[in-house]
Chain A
């Protein structure tokens, strides 16, 4: 049922139902502990639910890795305003393709996670913001939501226990920036996806300026297992300060690319060689993007490390969104940097000048460079321009554009130099299909 074969090294928690027949249906879900975590949570106090999530050391799977229990604790539960739960299903960070699977193959797990979040802060309405390109998933989620209403797991008096919660999907329309939480909320309100000034954070003033829990799909999907098996059980699956498993999206030059659920702290080299079957075509590893396009790249000799938030941060990169992009020795790093910058220039919402102008100029510089028209001074300028964007933009998209660029220029300066003096790109003749003996 998945798009790649599972690996024996996986620890299936969030993905454990994927292999069941008809895994999308509520009957399959109910027959495999479905909604049991929610039923347990109904009998718990709000502090107990949040406490369990804190104990689990679940950290946000959308990119920043913020502790989820702590975030839920920031919601002013006594506020007279309505409270909202918003699911970030915008999944658009290049390299990332896991939320799609979680919704496609186990939609009820997400609904249950949202329901528990609703209990934790007293919210009665939730929205799942799904990127517009994932139209079929809106169908999958709508169907699951209808089933949940029909079986009494959503509505005004859930299971006759006096709990009220309504849930609906919401379609985006193509904009990476709408994955940023405050831009997402603007978009949810029917506006352009320009971010909001923070503070106030969504926990205090989110959807319709009301207290809001906003988390990534995978974050919510972890919650039912945490409530059912206990926060400690989940924490113990991972490494210190990094609870649980996570869905790693292995892509690029490995023999077995795919999405794999592995314990937090799984070694990156093992991920590449044992889970991913090694570099294809017997080539050598050049570099790895450890967590989606915005994360600083790691050189091959920096890749023997535990994939958890703190270890990757100590290596001056980020675990990010779980997108692990593996690059072999034939990859042109100038072209790679250019493609990343083209992306950010395209997706910059234009609101603030350092990002709008910075990404545009960097794109121009890198294009010129890759075409062999670059000058030695451009190498320094690319690094300087990027550094001047860092921390000076209105939202983190500017940083997301700058960080990988700075790292690529620093770590692969020789490749920039190889493009100088009108020399053609040393890798340009390589065709991705013919080089590794792939079916043409």
Chain B
């Protein structure tokens, strides 16, 4: 399997960060960044990462099972993550989550039939003071209201990119 030149360059950067005999340290960062490109951790990805880090495929595979961001099944183009942990829960996070499920007709860790949107109910994402919070891929949305969620999901379903959707602004720079 071949990765993009950008990803290969990123891999090189990762490997250079750790002592020469500690390449295993690069396993997790490599998996996360590889997954962004391949959309899922396949057996081939596992083998490529293992080869580059000088470990066995099994040593990589056991890591994949541990971390919630790593997954063997592809997610939607836009992975919508709704926090329902305590700070979000008490100011509407659960309503936002139920609304998202209802609107898309899918549930936790499911993907729409067209493959555009997947949903996940997630734990605290570090936006508690600006709750309720939602992440779409790596972008944060703060103080999310039901009407904003509607716009966001309508826009994504209609094929728009998050930044093209009027009335919904991502928080992070």
Residue ranges of A at the interface with B (Cβ–Cβ < 8 Å): 3-4, 82, 91-97, 99-100, 104, 127, 131-136, 140, 168, 170-176, 187-193, 208, 249-253, 257-259, 289, 293, 323, 325, 327, 331, 335-336, 339-340, 343, 346-347, 349, 431-433, 438-440
Min C-beta distance of B138 to chain A, whole Å: 4
Task: Specify which chain A residues have a CB less than 8 angstroms from the CB of B101 in the assembled complex.
Answer: none
Task: Specify which chain A residues have a CB less than 8 angstroms from the CB of B146 in the assembled complex.
Answer: 433, 440
Task: Specify which chain A residues have a CB less than 8 angstroms from the CB of B135 in the assembled complex.
Answer: 133
Residue from B127, B139, B172 having most chain A Cβ neighbours under 10 A: B172
Please tell me if the beta carbons of B130 and A440 are within 8 angstroms of each other in the complex.
Answer: no
Please tell me if the beta carbons of A257 and B67 are within 8 angstroms of each other in the complex.
Answer: no
Task: Specify which chain B residues have a CB less than 8 angstroms from the CB of A190 in the assembled complex.
Answer: 24-28, 53, 55, 59, 63
Task: Specify which chain B residues have a CB less than 8 angstroms from the CB of A174 in the assembled complex.
Answer: 67-70
Q: How large is the interface on B (under 10, 10 to 19, 20 to 34, 35 or more residues)?
A: 35 or more
Min C-beta distance of A324 to chain B, whole Å: 9
Task: Specify which chain A residues have a CB less than 8 angstroms from the CB of B33 in the assembled complex.
Answer: 171
Please tell me if the beta carbons of B66 and A193 are within 8 angstroms of each other in the complex.
Answer: yes
Please tell me if the beta carbons of A104 and B90 are within 8 angstroms of each other in the complex.
Answer: no
Please tell me if the beta carbons of B87 and A170 are within 8 angstroms of each other in the complex.
Answer: no
Task: Specify which chain A residues have a CB less than 8 angstroms from the CB of B65 in the assembled complex.
Answer: 192
Min C-beta distance of A342 to chain B, whole Å: 9
Please tell me if the beta carbons of A347 and B123 are within 8 angstroms of each other in the complex.
Answer: yes
Is B91 an interface position by the 8 A CB rule?
yes
Please tell me if the beta carbons of A432 and B26 are within 8 angstroms of each other in the complex.
Answer: no
Is B157 an interface position by the 8 A CB rule?
no
Q: What are 22 inter-chain pairs, A to B, with CB distance below 8 A?
A: A93-B124, A133-B138, A168-B17, A170-B29, A171-B33, A172-B28, A173-B28, A173-B68, A174-B69, A187-B28, A190-B63, A192-B63, A250-B129, A251-B128, A339-B86, A339-B89, A343-B85, A347-B123, A431-B92, A438-B145, A439-B145, A439-B147
Task: Specify which chain B residues have a CB less than 8 angstroms from the CB of A252 in the assembled complex.
Answer: 86-87, 90-91
Please tell me if the beta carbons of A432 and B27 are within 8 angstroms of each other in the complex.
Answer: no
Task: Specify which chain A residues have a CB less than 8 angstroms from the CB of B166 in the assembled complex.
Answer: none
User: Apart from A4-B130, A190-B26, A343-B124, what are 20 other A-B pairs with CB-CB below 8 Å?
Assistant: A3-B129, A3-B171, A94-B85, A94-B128, A96-B126, A127-B17, A133-B135, A134-B126, A136-B139, A170-B28, A173-B28, A173-B32, A175-B67, A190-B53, A257-B130, A258-B130, A293-B86, A325-B128, A347-B123, A433-B95
Please tell me if the beta carbons of B86 and A340 are within 8 angstroms of each other in the complex.
Answer: yes
Is B84 an interface position by the 8 A CB rule?
yes
Task: Specify which chain A residues have a CB less than 8 angstroms from the CB of B1 in the assembled complex.
Answer: none
